[in-house]
Structure 1
């Protein structure tokens, strides 16, 4: 027969800290991206994927037809040489998480 030990433990939380649930934490992370835009460098910094690889991934025709703002998506593609890519942060990160396999296929 197993023995049980019941212990009451008090752990002080510093005044400058807050204890929240994982669900609340995930929601706060999502809220942090709402309304934010990334350029290619910021997206690269956020994801750890090089700018060139990101360009290659998002320029794939099957990806572009989904994400291009001109087709109802969330990526504004350069309209002239030297103009930037503009990514809606929340939708881009969500898309990359959900469609990793699509992005990585040749």
Structure 2
């Protein structure tokens, strides 16, 4: 019986270590996704009167020097760091949404709130 426990321990140990370390390390937003988001932002102008009904923090503090998962309105998958949600309804952005938008480079995007 002790041999079975020992075998199980050695079989499960690498898996448990990987699980523990992968969940404790932050998964950063991939650079290509941060770049796509910044390209998207630059296609618009900021109109401070565009979202007067919003009471949320709408400051557009997107900065290429910080992880895009920490940007306002961006939500990332906790395991992969992929951008999965974009909520810019209170962003004060104004302009046209183009069919060749860089948002189409965010392949894991599941929710978009304009």
Q: TM-score range by the shorter chain?
A: under 0.3
In the superposition, the TM-score normalised over structure 2's length comes to 0.23
Structure with a larger share of its residues in helix: 1
Structure with a larger share of its residues in strand: 2
Select the structure with the greater relative contact order (CA < 8 A; seq sep ≥ 6): 2
